[in-house]
Structure 1
Amino acid sequence: MNDEQLIADLHGRWVFGWERDEGDAPFDFRSVFGEFYDFGSPDVRLYDDFDPEQRVATTATGYGSIWESAFHDMISVHHAVADGPHVIADHDLAASTLTFVARITRPDVTTDIRTTTSLVWRRTPDGWRIVREHNSAKVLPAGELDGMLPVHEAPKG
């Protein structure tokens, strides 16, 4: 597998790391994304405009704290890739873009979104790791994703 294929695979798996089903254990960013982000780099800049405070995190741990809190109130999150990933790679740096759609279910509301995500990856001794992230999300009209996402069964218990 060449670097472009490897980054495309990583970006695709990254999207589905954000999946949540009702009854899942609390979201733990580092355990889910430890293989994706560079947790030790001073060069990290991570941004997602879906964060209501629109913070720019300068560490993967700081970015994780934004989403661990947000995901605490979510019942489920389901995704589908709409376009990509598209990758360019050089010796030590790569960039990938991908568009996904997601349905986020909270106790009081369901929100459908379309997000374009751009990631910059750096080759490290442990493999390719994210050092830059920019996500631009658009809230879609209610129900726009009906029939576009996989059906998930309620947990048995």
Structure 2
Amino acid sequence: MSDEQLIADLHSRWVFGWERNEGDPPFDFRHTFGDFYDFGSPDVRLYDDFDPEQRVATTAVGYGSIWEPSFREMVSAHHVVDDGPHVVAGHDLAASTLTFVARITMPAVITGIRTTTSLVWRRTPDGWRIVREHNSTKVLPAADLDVTLPAHEAP
């Protein structure tokens, strides 16, 4: 498998790491994403404008602490990749982008989003790891969400 294919697969799997189903165990960022982020690099910069506080995390642990509280409260989150992933890869660094749509169900509200995500990956002895992340999100009107991502049906 080429590095481009490997990064594309990793980015797709990363999106679905954020999936939540009602009744899932509490969200544990490091458990879910330990094979994706570089937890030891001083070069990490991670940003998602969906964070109401618009924080830039400089560690993977810090990034997890931004998301764990809301993901633990969440009833469900379901995603579909809308475009990509698109990858360029060099020897030690790679970049990937993709767009996804998600339906996020909190106890009192359902929110639909379309997010463009860009990740920079560094080759480490343990494999490719995320050292940069930038996500730009647009909240979707309910009608758009219903067309793009119908309500999840339990099996």
Q: TM-score, normalised by structure 2?
A: 0.96
Match of 2:32 in 1: 32
% of aligned pairs identical? 80
2:52 counterpart of 1:52 = yes
| Superimposed CA distance per residue, residues 38-67 of structure 1 (whole angstroms, 9 cap, x where no aligned partner) | 000000000000000010000000000111
Match of 1:9 in 2: 9
CA gap of 1:42–1:48, structure 2 versus 1, over 3 A, is same
Instruction: Tell me how far apart the structure 1 counterparts of residues 44 and 70 of structure 2 sit (CA, whole Å).
Output: 21
| Superimposed CA distance per residue, residues 79-132 of structure 1 (whole angstroms, 9 cap, x where no aligned partner) | 000000000000000000000000000111100000000000000000000000
Match of 2:153 in 1: 152
Structure 2 unaligned residues grouped into runs of 5+: none
Instruction: Tell me how far apart the structure 2 counterparts of residues 33 and 10 of structure 1 sit (CA, whole Å).
Output: 11
Q: If each structure's helix is expressed as a fraction of its own residues, which one has the higher value?
A: 2
* RMSD of aligned residue pairs (Cα, Å): 1.1
Instruction: Tell me how far apart the structure 2 counterparts of residues 137 and 148 of structure 1 sit (CA, whole Å).
Output: 15
Counterpart contact for 1:99–1:117, Cα < 8 Å: yes
Structure 1: which amino acid aligns with 2:118? S
Structure 2: which amino acid aligns with 1:22? E
**Pairing 1:1-157 to 2, within 5 Å after superposition:** 1-149=1-149, 151-153=152-154
Structure 1 unaligned residues grouped into runs of 5+: none
Structure 1: which amino acid aligns with 2:120? V
Secondary structure at the residue paired with 1:78? Answer: strand
Structure 2: which amino acid aligns with 1:16? F
Query: Aligned-pair distance for 1:147?
Result: 4.8
The number of equivalent residue pairs is 154
Query: Aligned-pair distance for 1:13?
Result: 0.2
Q: TM-score, normalised by structure 1?
A: 0.95
Q: Is the deviation greater in 136-145 or in 91-100?
A: 136-145
Counterpart contact for 1:112–1:143, Cα < 8 Å: no
Instruction: Tell me how far apart the structure 2 counterparts of residues 70 and 44 of structure 1 sit (CA, whole Å).
Output: 22
Instruction: Tell me how far apart the structure 2 counterparts of residues 94 and 34 of structure 1 sit (CA, whole Å).
Output: 18
Query: Aligned-pair distance for 1:146?
Result: 1.5
